[in-house]
Amino acid sequence: MNLGNLQQLQFISLQINQLTNDPSMRELSFLTSLSNCKYLKTVQIGGNQFNASLPKFLGSGNWSFSLENFIAANNGITGNIPTNFSNLRNLGWLSLGYNKLIGTIPPDLGNLRKLQMLKLDNNNIDGIIPTSLCNLENMFIISLSQNQLSGEVPSCFGNPSSLRELSLDSNVLISSIPPTFWRNKDISVVNLSSNFLNGSLALEMGNSRSLQILHLSGNRFSGQIPSTIGQLQNLVILSLSMNMLDRPIPKSFEDLVSLEYLDLSRNKLSGMIPMSLRNLEHLMYFNVSYNGLMGEIPDGGPFVNFTAESFMGNPALCGASRFHVMQCRVSSPKRPKKKRVVTFVLASVASGVAMTSIFIVWLLKYRKRSRELPLVDTFVQVHMRISYHDIAQGTNNFDEANLIGRGSLGLVYKGTLADGKVVAIKVFNAEMQHAFRSFDVECQVLRSIRHRNLVKVISSCANFDYKVLVLEYMPNESLDRWLHSPDKFLDLTQRLKVMVDVASAMEYLHGGHLFVVVHCDLKPSNILLDGDMVAKVSDFGISKLLTAETLIAHTKTLGTIGYMAPEYGSEGKISTKGDVYRFGILLMETLTRKSPVDDLFVGDFTLKKWICQSLPNRMVDVVDINLFSLDDENFMSKESFKSIMELAFECTNDLPHERISMEDVNVRLKKILTQFLQNVMTN
């Protein structure tokens, strides 16, 4: 069928499929036929595998009058942004993020007076940010993150009163932030992190009173934090970490009554932590590590939930023993010797500067690792506020009838919020210290990641006595139920799609954001299925956050026997290669329906060895027999099955350096799935 014959077509969505372009064509050929649809308003083609450039005709012909929305993120689109995009006079949304675009941003995009959203993030675009974008009076969202943009932050970005979200993070911008930048009183999200911005933060920052998220970490800002920051009373997330800010924390922080997340770590801050911060009742995350702070750590209020990690690298701090700092001298008015304090402060400052330098080097080297990611927003999200009363009411006081899961660290309930939204409520066991530690780890991981194949956090609720995570509800339960319950069955297509989903999530965790996340406990019970059978990875309770400098760590926390890589069990070594090993075991289990902890496997006789003994001639002995009960045309060929098992074996090599990466796993699995579906269609 020729799509161009659909003369009345107004909306087309082909998002998140396995569509490819004609390999003989350098441009997206099917868009050419769509140009005949003179009433077409919306084109959504994101999440495919086109790997071609955009046709030059896009800004001409019928579309120059009709097209209002063009969404083409995560397609492997190459080449430049066509300059004649500026002819699409009615264009409102333009989304080309997570592609392979090069070149510069055409200044003529500033002529698109109806443009409301411009997303060009996660490409290879360079050059400066055109000031013509400031002419867009209806602009609501601008996202240019993770490119190679250089030069200055345009001061005129303070002009468009309609602008609500601006993300320029992870570029090579080198300038100060001009005072006029803060002229917009209605902007709610500003992310300028991971650049080379310098100078001081202007007092005019206090003008942007609608700000909810302000992310300026990983730059070279110096001087004091402006006292006017206290005027930002809607601020929920504030990150100023990894800069060179000095002097005391302003007392005006006590006015940030909505604040939930505050990161001031790795600066040169001095003086005391204001006691009034304990009155910030919504504060859930607080980090002032690696500064030159001194004096008593506040106790009470939200500080009862913070751990030693929030204060490390400040030797002159004192307070409760759980913070791993010296005890305060309450009974004696005698002050510490000045010389000792100065030594402590200088040591902390030197440490902070060194870590900042290391971060900048790492940023330049590793920022561009992951390109083909699903349609995600990797910036920290603002969660809805839910009280313990809401949770108790939503679960009918934690009635056992609503209990849907039970683990070593706590219970999971199905709940209904006041707005009717059904959620999963994970209640951590208050009697187990490592359960509360697991809650802290899970919060730390989940606050910094977001992906369509990761279970979404809706909110959290915590005090000294309880810790609760509110998660999206997954009506189709876990992969474990589908593999090992006699009344459930997944056909081969479903199993392969689940594995592709999991591989996509793991690829993202290993390289899709500033930190490398090692899951450490990948197994079927931690893979949940939503209403559309889309798989999502869950349970980050023993995960590890690694930086580019520490891609291997050690732990005493064990994962699940049967899924652990050899180096994890014997030496406690943690790296992404351990997750790759777990995925290989998971792949074997999914296709054989045999658990690695089955009674069959004793001593050195493992699931992997059992499969090795049976392949290639006795495939029927290891493949789930239910798959063979289907018609031949619905069961993949012997060659395809062999390629899946070869992939699983490459994941489970005994030596970590011989295992492939999750990025390669994801590519291979998608090819296997595509080939299988083509075989089914052909037969």
Residue numbers annotated as active site: 521
User: What is the residue-wise DSSP string for 563-613?
Assistant: T--HHHHHH-EE-HHHHHHHHHHHHHHHHH---TTSTT--TT--HHHHHHH
Dump the DSSP string for 205-230.
GGG-TT-SEEE--SSEEEEPPPGGGG
Contacts of 123 (CB under 8 A, 6+ apart): 96, 97, 98, 99, 100, 101, 102, 146, 147
Beta bridge partners of 119: 95, 143
Amino acid, single-letter form, for residue 69: N
Block residue for tokens 């930048």 = 181
DSSP state of 551: S
Alpha carbon distance 556, 572 (integer Å): 6
H/E stretch holding 148:
strand 148-151
Q: How far is CA 538 from CA 452, 457, 468, 512, 543, in A?
A: 12, 10, 15, 17, 11
* Residue 457: φ, ψ to 5°: -85, 125
Here the tokens at position 396 are 């009918």
Helix (H), strand (E), coil (C) string for 373-386: CCCCCCCCCCCCCC
CA distance 198 to 216: 11
> By the 8 A CB rule, do 157 and 166 touch?
yes
Asked if 634 and 680 count as a contact pair (C-beta separation under 8 A), the reply is yes
| Residue 531 DSSP code | T
Give the number of other CB atoms < 10 A from CB of residue 678.
11
Which two structure tokens, joined as six digits, stand for 283?
Answer: 């504060």
CA angle 550, 555, 559 (to 5 degrees): 115
> Which tokens in the block code for residue 603?
């001593």
Nearest to 82 by CA among 70, 74, 68, 98: 70
Structure tokens of 278? Answer: 């304990």
Q: Under a CB-based contact definition with an 8 Å cutoff, are residues 195 and 167 in contact?
A: no
Instruction: Answer for the pair 643, 671: CB distance below 8 angstroms, yes or no.
Output: no
CA-based angle 583:521:410, to the nearest 5? Answer: 145
**For residue 453, which of 128, 65, 74 has the smallest C-alpha distance?**
74
Cross-sheet strand order for the sheet of 198-199: 198-199, 220-223, 244-247, 268-269
Cβ neighbours of residue 61 closer than 8 Å, sequence gap 6 or more:
35
Return the closest-CA partner of residue 60 out of 84, 41, 36: 84
